[in-house]
Structure 1
Amino acid sequence: MICFVALESLLTKQLGHQADEERRESKMRVLVTGATGYLGSSLCRGLLQEGHTVKALVRRSSDLSSLPTTTSSHNFELAFGDVTDLASLLAAFSGCDVLFHTAAAVEPWVPNPSVLFTVNVEGLRNVLLAFRETSSMQKMVYTSSFFALGPTDGCIGDEMQMHHEKFFCTEYEKSKLMADKIALKAAEDGLPIVILYPGVIYGPGRLTSGNLVANTIIERFSGRLPGYIGKGNERFSFCHVEDVIHGHVAAMDRGKIGERYLLGGENASFADVLDIAAMVTGTQRPSFHIPLWLVEIYGWMSVFWARLTGTIPLISYPIVHVMRHQWVYSSDKAKEELNYKPRNLKEGLTDVMMWLKSVGKINY
């Protein structure tokens, strides 16, 4: 009897693995929101390399230069729409099997914070409505943010962590928490959704505000950032964009419905980033630390100037609030269940430095 039960268990596992392999080998028709963003554009390319057919949701006013061309790949097409426009989503979702929702307004400060909630919160509600109305959709992979989990002061966070909601460093953080609650409720209601929480994403690609590490390195090598910001005791979970893309694709193939996965990497400070950049390039490290109170004053001045000019500042006072806390996380669950393999910071930054030099953004 015991042997029979053991044999039955073994056969069940083998059949399960076989079903997983068949699903992974099948090519899907995938839709990506936020396709022109730093993460979204890289995800489109990654999915195409895996042999999937990709439909990219873009606005008509979007810069499409970071995307593949429809003429270079017969498996790639554009769908014009916006997450704030439900009708456009319904049209774009039609005929697709899997949805990657990466669209987000990612700014620590904007003149009108309501934009963050319109895109990140109401946009997610529209996406969920459209997903439910599209009969062909089998699975949704939602890209949240480590900010939705909150700071980890004094501990290492994981997928069990919930935001304390005692304070928010940025309005972006608040909007991502609100969206996270909506996504978790959708999972409870049975929607086939997997929720991902990337750390600080860095690597080659569009130099948007989301590519904070590359922008920081550019500021350092241009001479506009002469020293470390603060004492260098803040810590973040840094993850290379290619590793995050692999994590997204794995979430489509292996991610368990209703589960949350942290896609982080090495936990380090921005002082460590500058030190590694100096070591990789054989240049000098910064010789002093700029106090956070002074950076905050500069941030307020930058915001004042931004209001006059209509631009978005590189450093604003909310960033200083973020740097007064720890944002340290473990990606062990993703490593085990998604075979997530984040590279170390030195390896990742070496790649970034070579890319920045090749495109003429830094010299050393």
Structure 2
Amino acid sequence: MNLVTGGTGLVGAHLLLQLAQNGEAVRALYRNKSTLTKTENLFKKKNASGLFSSIEWVKSDVTDVSSLELAFKGVTHVYHCAALISFDPKDEEQLRKINIEGTANMVNCSLAFGIQKFCHVSSIAALGDLAKNEVLITEETEWNAEKPHSDYAISKFGAEMELWRAQQEGLNCICVNPGVILDEVSKKSDWTTGSSEIYKKINNGMYFYANGSTGFITVEDVAKTMLFLMKSTVVGERYTLISQNVNYKDFIGWVADALGVKKPSFQVQPWMTEIAWRLDWFLTLILPIKRSLSRAISKSMHSREQYSNSKIVAVLPFKFESIQIYCSKVVD
């Protein structure tokens, strides 16, 4: 029996679909029944509506140990996809509770129930910081606590510390660190969660771009890779999951072309975003709104750090899909 957390999120939903298509027994956690609709709609879109009913849904929360104990009965493999993604400094406490404490609860339960293998979904945000003589961020790049990191990055790094602590205590673990995870470009999607929010902004008209870049990967490739690693004999390893490093101008242009809208033509400068995030901070002090541009996001918009996927590419029996090709297709 496979247990999946975050089954109503982007990665978790696609993972459930692939597990169900493989005919595997699956149990998934949910907090609110209304959120199951998104996962069910994915199954319908992929002509797999009948498989949705094969999933055993259990109401639980990674921060509630008593509810987790019920969910773990009879489970052999765990995929921990649940996490809070936020770059709003006001969410620091929730980020630590869900991402760090929630992961600690998951690995502790896995140890107590004798789970055979545990897969944790981390992020490239939890990878290390480049030294002066380094040009590529890898799984071995050291985390520098003296450098500034977003609360989200710190929470994902802390979650990994819980994972490796459990590994030392006898739990067979695998960790994947995806880059920006992309869903299909579709005008019928709600474009309200995850990286798909950028599609909505581009479709509505994005007038500027930043000259930064980062690593991207499709959600299907993330799920496929997790399944492969869990079936393999590899344990105690972390893998950076990116298809390729792409600059933001190219990425936005590919999506804009696919949606048939105008590409942005104005390159925003670092000093502009420095002013913008401070203005955003001030507005949240006087208005009941959430932060839309934090200092961390402002910095990342201009960062041109490159990530290496050589470690995972060396073991996979398949190739990651091209980001340009993926973004160029609009799915009905």
TM-score (norm 1): 0.80
Task: Give the CA deviation at 1:307.
Answer: 5.8
Alignment match of 2:93 (pick from 107, 114, 119): 114
| 1:206–1:81 distance in 2 versus 1, CA, 3 Å | farther
Tell me the amino acid that sits aligned with residue 249 of structure 1: L
CA distance in 1, matches of 2:167, 2:295: 35
Aligned twin of 1:193: 173
Aligned twin of 1:98: 77
Tell me the amino acid that sits aligned with residue 47 of structure 1: L
* Larger Rg, first or second structure (1 or 2): 1
Tell whether 2:198 aligns with 1:226.
no
Tell whether 2:154 aligns with 1:167.
no
Indicate conservation of the 8 Å contact 1:38/1:207, yes or no.
no
Aligned twin of 2:269: 291
Task: Give the CA deviation at 1:210.
Answer: 2.7
Matches within 5 A, 1:20-35: 29-35=1-7
Indicate conservation of the 8 Å contact 2:202/2:256, yes or no.
no
Q: How many residue pairs end up in the alignment? A: 319
Tell me the amino acid that sits aligned with residue 236 of structure 1: T
Aligned twin of 2:254: 276
| 1:32–1:327 distance in 2 versus 1, CA, 3 Å | farther
Show structure 2 runs of 5+ residues with no match.
44-48
Percent identity over paired residues: 28
What does the per-residue CA deviation read over 1:189-227, in whole Å, with 9 as the maximum and x for residues that have no partner? Answer: 33111111111111237745531xx3223212312x211
Aligned twin of 2:38: 66
What does the per-residue CA deviation read over 1:5-56, in whole Å, with 9 as the maximum and x for residues that have no partner? Answer: xxxxxxxxxxxxxxxxxxxxxxxx2111111112112211121112112111
| 1:279–1:152 distance in 2 versus 1, CA, 3 Å | farther
| 1:74–1:345 distance in 2 versus 1, CA, 3 Å | closer
Tell me the amino acid that sits aligned with residue 82 of structure 2: A
Alignment match of 2:55 (pick from 62, 70, 76): 76
Q: Secondary structure at the match of 2:58?
A: strand
| 1:332–1:208 distance in 2 versus 1, CA, 3 Å | farther
Q: Secondary structure at the match of 2:153?
A: helix
| 1:110–1:71 distance in 2 versus 1, CA, 3 Å | farther
Show structure 1 runs of 5+ residues with no match.
1-28, 359-364
Task: Give the CA deviation at 1:261.
Answer: 1.3
CA distance in 2, matches of 1:155, 1:133: 41
Q: Secondary structure at the match of 2:3?
A: strand
Indicate conservation of the 8 Å contact 1:109/1:318, yes or no.
no
| 1:304–1:103 distance in 2 versus 1, CA, 3 Å | farther
Q: Secondary structure at the match of 1:113?
A: helix
Tell me the amino acid that sits aligned with residue 219 of structure 1: K
Q: Secondary structure at the match of 2:104?
A: helix
CA distance in 1, matches of 2:297, 2:231: 35
Alignment match of 1:56 (pick from 12, 20, 28): 28
Q: Secondary structure at the match of 1:163?
A: coil
Tell whether 2:244 aligns with 1:263.
no
| 1:207–1:91 distance in 2 versus 1, CA, 3 Å | farther
Q: Secondary structure at the match of 1:141?
A: strand
Task: Give the CA deviation at 1:243.
Answer: 0.8
Aligned twin of 2:117: 139
